[in-house]
Amino acid sequence: MAKRKGSAKPIGTRTAASTRAPRAPAHAAWPHQHLLALQGLDTAEMRTLLARARHHERGDQNASAPLAGRVVANLFFEDSTRTRLSFSLAAKRLGAQVVDLSSGDSSVNKGETIRDTAANVAAMGAHALIVRHRASGAAALVARATGAAFGISVINAGDGRHEHPTQGLLDAYTIAERFDRLADFDLSGLRIAIVGDVGSSRVARSDIAVLTALGARVVCVGPPALVPSSLTTLGCEVCHDLDSLIASADAVNVLRIQFERHAAAGGTGGTGGKALAESGGQRVGGAALARPNAVASLREYTEVYGLSLRRIERMKPGAIILHPGPINRGVEMTAAVADGHRSVVLKQVGHGVAVRMAALELCLAAPRS
């Protein structure tokens, strides 16, 4: 993967093309039947996906329906609003038929494995499976079980703490749009902070992969227990002091604390929502949240790492705030910040449809392995 280090520049400043290191071709043919992760993709392949998303975003699609006669099956074994609906919309816009299965009302509840579930849906004639699961590696498992046997494409819609590739792509797209980089998706010179529970975040792993590949400088920010120094192996920097860098960031991507993943890891949050009421946990946005052992108190976390109007006053004039959703208003950011002029949260959601159209179209058109 061709990676270039970006340097901190004033917002929107481009490195002169003549001084840049040569890079991989802007676009490459898309050879992948599946989209399971961004780590490991060539930068040119990421640009191919993003450019195809731009094509759809601009409405360049003619009246044809390239996926007419194809069936896309959503297999969501974990909750979702944005990803699931936008994959459905994307598939329908391309002319595909969409079927939905969620763990809550499926035979998974009778003990059927994800592998058997996927094989059964494939046997019914699905051409693509969109898989979300709490276990890292679940989408890859489904790809192995169905890819060769049924010629099916599998797209990872978020697997545990591993990756959420289409979220990473839509985040990159949103940043590129705001900084006028849609022509080449070159994010050189931009400094992007990812703030919060990075260690638990599949979004962060996909973001780091795509943003660094496109030339941005990525800094992960949060308390040491949520942002371990080992993250630097992914090509990002690590910082524990948000206030020291907020004035130099071009974009701040704020993550939710993944209480459910702390629970899975056996932290004090392992009691989950049910026992929380008994343990005095906080209730945010109608959902009971366990207090993970990685954070001494939610109030203290919000004080040090939450985005308030006061804290973001020091951001650069054109700097933006992203959040993959769902937002816990009052924890990682205030409602005023979430709805404020720097927030591009709903732009992200909108771009998700075009990115997922690109992923579906390219994967289904790729050679079968």
Nearer to ligand CP (CB atom), residue 145 or residue 338: 338
User: How many beta carbons lie within 10 A of that of residue 339, not counting itself?
Assistant: 13
CB neighbourhood size of 122 (10 A): 23
Torsion of CA 331, 199, 234, 305, to 10 degrees: 30
Binding residues for ligand CP, rule: CB under 6 A, are 80-84, 158, 164, 167, 324-326
Taking the complex as a whole, the smallest distance from the CB of residue 168 to ligand CP amounts, in Å, to 11
At 176, give phi and psi (nearest 5°).
-60, -40
Task: Locate 70 and state its tokens.
Answer: 């194809």
> Which residues, 6+ apart, have CB-to-CB distance to 168 below 8 Å?
38, 203, 205, 206, 207, 209, 210, 211
To ligand CP, the closest distance from the beta carbon of 236 in angstroms equals 20
Q: Which is nearer to ligand CP, 192 or 327 (CB)?
A: 327
| Alpha carbons 96 and 37: distance in angstroms, whole number | 23
When the beta carbons of 153 and 206 are compared against ligand CP, the nearer one is: 206
Q: How far is the CB of 25 from ligand CP (least distance, A)?
A: 30
Side chain identity at 58, as an amino acid letter? Answer: R
User: What is the number of H-type helices and E-type strands within the chain?
Assistant: 13, 11
Minimum distance from residue 43 beta carbon to ligand CP (Å)? 23
Strand order in 191-195's β-sheet? 237-239, 217-221, 191-195, 251-254, 320-322
Residues near 349 by Cβ (< 8 Å), separated by ≥ 6?
82, 86, 325
Distance in Å, CB of 331 to ligand CP, minimum? 16
Considering the complex, state which of residue 13 and residue 81 has its C-beta at the smaller distance from ligand CP: 81
Cβ proximity to ligand CP: between 167 and 328 the closer is 167
Cβ proximity to ligand CP: between 158 and 215 the closer is 158
**Distance, CA of 60 to CA of 30 (rounded, Å):** 19
Output 316 or 347, the one with its CB closest to ligand CP.
Answer: 347
Q: Closest separation between CB of residue 271 and ligand CP, Å? A: 22
- Which stretches of 34-137 are DSSP H helices? 43-57, 82-93, 114-123
For residue 343, list its beta bridge partners: 321
Output the smallest distance, CB 158 to ligand CP, in A: 6
Q: How far is the CB of 78 from ligand CP (least distance, A)?
A: 8
Q: Which is nearer to ligand CP, 81 or 232 (CB)?
A: 81
CB of 27 to ligand CP, least distance (A): 26
**Cα four-point dihedral sign 291, 295, 300, 302:** negative
CA distance linking residue 195 with residue 246, whole number of Å: 10
The residue (of 130 and 140) whose beta carbon lies closer to ligand CP is 130
What does the block give as tokens for 243?
A: 């206030």
